[in-house]
């Protein structure tokens, strides 16, 4: 399996997990806050969706979210706690599904030369390295969704 095929498969896997973890939860449940420092389900969804915009941009595609929407979900941003402040969770899930299709299409058509381009000169990181790193980051946050689903009172197990 090629590196591109592995990336496609990896993004497919996290997309499936994200959708399964969100299944049956309301937007309000996705805004429930942990009793300690952390982010809600909605913030994690938004963070993943807006990070996928970076992948789309690297693949020469247009981002899905506006700068205002991205600002809500950047690392270090204030917790998203109000229904009126957060991007609706369904919109975030739709964006993740849309980005999945676009990432797959982009990876299938991107040139080897583009993937080999240097993204970060200091670290000699290529575009392919950056995309793989963004996916690793996505897996980190995807794992958090299991606990945040339990916060909503589901008392179930999606993966296991």
The pair of three-digit structure tokens given for residue 151, joined into one six-digit string: 């916060």
Secondary structure of 61-96 in HEC code, one letter for each residue? CCCCCCHHHHHHCCCCCCCCCCCCCCCCHHHHHHHH
* Average pLDDT taken over every residue of the chain: 95
pLDDT at 83 over 80: no
Q: Give CA angle at 51 (160, 134), nearest 5°.
A: 65
Residue 2, classified by CB atoms within 10 Å of its CB into exposed (0-12), middle (13-18) or buried (19+), is exposed
For 3-151, CATH number out of 1.20.120.450, 3.20.20.80, 3.20.20.70, 1.10.3720.10 equals: 1.20.120.450
pLDDT digits (tens, 9 = 90+) for 29-74: 999 999 888 899 999 999 999 999 999 999 999 999 999 899 999 9
- Whole-prediction pTM: 0.94
In angstroms and rounded to an integer, the radius of gyration of the C-alpha atoms of the chain is 16
Angle, helix 127-151 to helix 3-22, in steps of 10 degrees? 20
What pLDDT is recorded for position 149? Answer: 97
Q: Once rounded to an integer, what is the mean pLDDT over residues 116-132? A: 95
**Structural domain boundaries in the chain:** 3-151
pLDDT at 78 over 90: no
Eight-class DSSP state of 110: -
What pLDDT is recorded for position 30? Answer: 97
d(CA 149, CA 152) in angstroms, rounded, equals: 5
């Amino acid at each position: 399996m090629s590196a591109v095929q592995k990336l496609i498969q990896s993004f497919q896997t996290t997309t499936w997990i994200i959708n399964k973890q969100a299944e049956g939860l309301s937007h309000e449940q996705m805004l429930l806050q942990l009793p300690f420092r952390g982010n809600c389900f909605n913030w994690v969804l938004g963070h993943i969706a807006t990070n996928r915009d970076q992948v789309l941009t690297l693949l020469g595609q247009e981002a899905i979210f506006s700068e205002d929407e991205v600002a809500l979900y950047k690392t270090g941003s204030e917790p998203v706690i109000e229904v009126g402040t957060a991007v609706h969770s369904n919109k975030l899930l739709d964006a993740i599904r849309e980005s999945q299709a676009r990432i797959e299409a982009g990876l299938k058509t991107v040139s080897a030369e583009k993937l080999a381009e240097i993204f970060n000169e200091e670290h000699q990181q290529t575009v392919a390295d950056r995309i793989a790193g963004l996916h690793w980051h996505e897996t980190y946050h995807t794992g958090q969704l299991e606990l945040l689903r339990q916060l909503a009172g589901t008392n179930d197990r999606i993966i296991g």
